[in-house]
Amino acid sequence: MQNFKMYAPCLFGVEGILADELKRLGAEQVQAQNGRVCFSGSLQTLAAANLGLRTAERVLIEVGSFTATTFTELFDGVKALPWQRYLTKTDSFPVTGYSISSQLHSLPDCQAIIKKAVVESLRGAYGGDWFEESGPTKKIRFSIQKNRVTVGIDTSGAGLHKRGYREHSATAPIKETLAAALCYLTGIYPDTQLYDPFCGSGTLLIEAAMIAKNIAPGLRRTFAAERFGEPFAKAFATQRAACLAAVKTGVEFHAFGSDILPEAVALTQKNARLAGVGELVTATVADVSSFRPPQGRFALLCNPPYGERLLDIRAAEELYKSMGKLFVPGKGHKYFIITADEDFEKCFGRPADKRRKLYNGMLKCQFYMYFRA
């Protein structure tokens, strides 16, 4: 059985969570790095990772890695890689990527040089002077970080945050992959009662409900690697069937959301139905001021408006003060809040029991956790 060396990019701060996901999937040689997690496994692992990972941005087959500070070193390094193992004579292979803190920073030049180097490598393997690129698309993605070049083949296609349930969203939505990471940090179980008083289009509630029901995030979409050939298509079919069989029924989990905008509440309900968790999510039109801690155990997870997003700074601070009065400690009461506002704890009125730095895209945020009575 063919084994692949792979890697999955992720948002900064999520690497450990993603590594745990990969270990649960049975991936081998799992190693968390800055902004990605490397691992190895079979075709089945590749398919399972695409279908089942909640916090990864995509899954790539690593073709090779080397150091380059000149365009000549870049060309020679790429040309020396075993491209014939991954590309046929007819495959289409567009090139894209990025460079951070490296001497090679012109992306158009890097793209052109990598493309030329791959063509030269394939000429040596297959002969001929022209490649039609009329077959399946196998996008080559490169990253250059501190002069270290990594080149891979994208197996996901559209980013893995695209689950297929969010056709439309409310203003400034949280990314699905980050929402899933927050749910893991919150602790979602089949009997969890979850609240979000700023639900927007429902992403936090829906990701939590999908975890509770064990619905794989990739069940409602397709992947680039499904078109790489029959072995890949078979692996995805096998893993898709396994994911469907693993969906839980009869869970006691329920998510309650509210928002001041009726259109946001309608979006939450629509998106929940599309995600297959409509029966687990209830959304109502209400202001956060109407929130009262329910009886018994519950978790509140939210992404409140903040200055750089929806409210001016002063209005956001007033909101945080009111939240501090409403979100009162109690036995079995847990509150989890993500915001980019560095002064949140001061406005909220008490320090978090624990906090964690995360990134919502390129925006640095803090995840504040309150769980002590």
Examine the domain organization and report whether 113 and 208 are in the same domain.
Answer: no
The pLDDT assigned to 1 comes to: 58
Examine the domain organization and report whether 199 and 273 are in the same domain.
Answer: yes
Examine the domain organization and report whether 130 and 209 are in the same domain.
Answer: no
The pLDDT assigned to 307 comes to: 55
Q: Is residue 233 part of a domain?
A: no
The pLDDT assigned to 315 comes to: 85
Examine the domain organization and report whether 71 and 204 are in the same domain.
Answer: no
Q: Is residue 42 part of a domain?
A: yes
| pLDDT tens sequence for the chain (373 residues) | 589 999 999 999 999 999 999 999 999 999 999 999 999 999 999 999 999 999 999 999 999 999 999 999 999 999 999 999 999 999 999 999 999 999 999 999 999 999 999 999 999 999 887 888 899 999 999 999 999 999 999 999 999 999 999 876 666 679 999 999 999 999 998 889 999 999 999 999 999 999 999 999 999 999 999 999 999 999 999 999 999 999 999 999 999 999 999 999 999 999 999 999 999 999 999 999 999 988 888 999 999 987 544 567 788 889 999 999 999 888 899 999 999 998 999 999 999 999 999 998 888 999 999 999 8
Q: What is the CATH number of the domain that holds 299?
A: 3.40.50.150
Q: What is the C-alpha separation between 15 and 17, in angstroms, rounded?
A: 6
The pLDDT assigned to 214 comes to: 97
What's the residue count for the chain?
373
- If one counts the domains in the chain, the total is 2
Edge-first strand order for the sheet with 148-154 is 28-33, 36-42, 3-9, 60-67, 148-154, 140-145, 95-100
| Angle formed at CA 167 by CA 163 and CA 170, multiple of 5 degrees | 105
Examine the domain organization and report whether 78 and 26 are in the same domain.
Answer: yes
Examine the domain organization and report whether 112 and 208 are in the same domain.
Answer: no
Q: What is the CATH number of the domain that holds 12?
A: 3.30.2130.30
Q: Is residue 227 part of a domain?
A: no
Enclosing domain of residue 99: 3-154
Examine the domain organization and report whether 185 and 78 are in the same domain.
Answer: no
Examine the domain organization and report whether 104 and 196 are in the same domain.
Answer: no
Q: Is residue 95 part of a domain?
A: yes
Which amino acid does the sequence have at 117? Answer: A
Question: Which residue, among 260, 262, 255, 156, has the nearest Cα to 203 in the 3D structure?
Answer: 255
Examine the domain organization and report whether 200 and 78 are in the same domain.
Answer: no
Edge-first strand order for the sheet with 354-360 is 281-285, 254-259, 193-196, 298-302, 333-339, 363-370, 354-360
Q: Is residue 277 part of a domain?
A: yes
Q: Is residue 228 part of a domain?
A: no
Examine the domain organization and report whether 149 and 194 are in the same domain.
Answer: no
